[in-house]
A and B are shown apart, each in its own frame.
Chain A
């Protein structure tokens, strides 16, 4: 297949079935989407949804059962070599590095595998260790690292080859809040430099703040894709109104307003959800009229969208 003109990544009817003695499992089922050059796309979905399978196919680590994908116009099956030159991959986790080597030694080895000559590799590794705050412990064995530090080494490896398409699976898993915020800045810098980013994450805050669009995947199928604001608007999720200084005797009057759902009320605070702008206006008017001025209106978040679109299964895998 051939790529779309302006798209860095084009996925078309992609399916992947895993055979097993018990029962075959369809990990991806007819997935189609595009990612434009310089775009940051978030992949959201529960464990076992098919995100990692999708990532592995796009990066040529796994062959699809049917359908296909192109990266910068290169087919992931027929032109895998060109695809690999284009992508940088962060799989994360506590494995994937030589635990008895230092971060610097690990990265130098991977730099060599990516075709960087010794001098360039050393310079690039030093730059990345500095940029990711690992310089002080760069010469310690990575088996002594915390999970968050390991993630940074994984990230450094993904950045070694200055890839056009960065694919990251749970990149901030295990990072402390400061490191996670620094990661967000790094992604923004990458985007500013024209790098396309595919970000598989469970962190809704991160997805909402970083991604131009998000794709919701569940059961191997693409459930929704679009800009977070558009998806939230389309989903008609409820806004939440919180009013401090509320008095319980006002509750009947609030309940009488059409489109207002009272979630909780006591002598100090009201939490209600509103279905539309008219209901919001009526509620705000009623609250201000009785002298309540400390009011906050919270728009729906990706977390609510996620919970609305992805079926709740507690700890169950698909």
Chain B
């Protein structure tokens, strides 16, 4: 597992452009914090910090982690990977999780920037916040796996990649409370790990969480389901490649 992670780290580190999302998104927090100060609403600082982290994490997952399989295809590596399909698939899961986990840095960044600007952005329940953030990273990695697999199978999804951000920020409750969304999409927010997790993250940051165990359990289940769906999609793509239905070179 460490070999897979170190390999992925080297691949990402060799292309500094891949850090763009993580580097730019926290800068948004500066704009938001400045606005809060101008409006004299320091009470909203923790929400701003978490929103910025959530958007960074999701964007990084969709734009960087979800490109890992496609990059392997472009390099002509998938064909060799099919010689060790189980190990290759496992390495993909690990590599995508590892890449998505880099977005945890954004959480630390926005909290520190907030503190430096004089806001109270340190969460009330740090441990719970970190735990929920880690679960959110896993769920986002699952979504990236799914997009990754679909991207190889259905080339058109690449052109829709930009559309995979704002609708999900809304659905995940990052920009507005998920409850504010129209009634017909409420059921989607209930089964979407991001909306569950983000609400829990906000509550943990504010220090007033009820039913921690049951909410964590639900979040864990949704995250595992998302990971499972992503891994299954990747398995389907690799099987299709073996059947000759997926071009192995980009």
CB within 8 Å of B: which residues of A? 18, 59-63, 81, 84, 87, 89, 91, 93, 95-101, 105, 108-115, 118, 121, 141, 157
Contact = CB atoms under 8 A, between A and B. Distances in A.
- Identify the interface centre among A100, A111, A113: most chain B CB within 10 Å of its CB: A113
18 contacts: A18-B244, A59-B83, A61-B82, A62-B242, A62-B243, A63-B244, A84-B85, A89-B83, A95-B76, A96-B76, A98-B11, A100-B14, A101-B7, A101-B14, A105-B7, A111-B3, A112-B91, A113-B91
A60 to B, nearest CB: 7
B4 A98 contact: no
B10 interface: yes
Contacts of B75: 95-99
A105 B14 CA distance: 13
Contacts of A95: 75-77, 249
B242 A113 contact: no
A156 B75 CA distance: 18
A121 B77 contact: no
A110 B11 contact: no
In the A-B complex, list the 8 residue pairs whose CB atoms are closest, starting with the nearest.
A95-B76, A112-B3, A100-B14, A113-B84, A96-B76, A109-B7, A113-B87, A61-B82
B84 to A, nearest CB: 4
Sorting the interface of chain B by its residue count into under 10, 10 to 19, 20 to 34 or 35 or more gives 20 to 34
B39 interface: no
B80 A157 contact: yes
B67 to A, nearest CB: 14
Contacts of B119: none
Contacts, number: 78
Interface in B67-82: 75-77, 79-82
B213 interface: no
A108 B8 CA distance: 12
A96 B84 contact: no
B210 interface: no
Contact of B84 (A100, A101, A114): A114
Given A60-B83, A115-B87, A100 B11 contact: yes
B15 A62 contact: no
Contact of A101 (B10, B242, B244, B249): B10
Contacts of A100: 10-11, 14-15
A89 B80 CA distance: 8
Given A62-B244, A98-B11, A101-B11, A109 B3 contact: yes
B2 interface: yes
B83 A109 contact: no
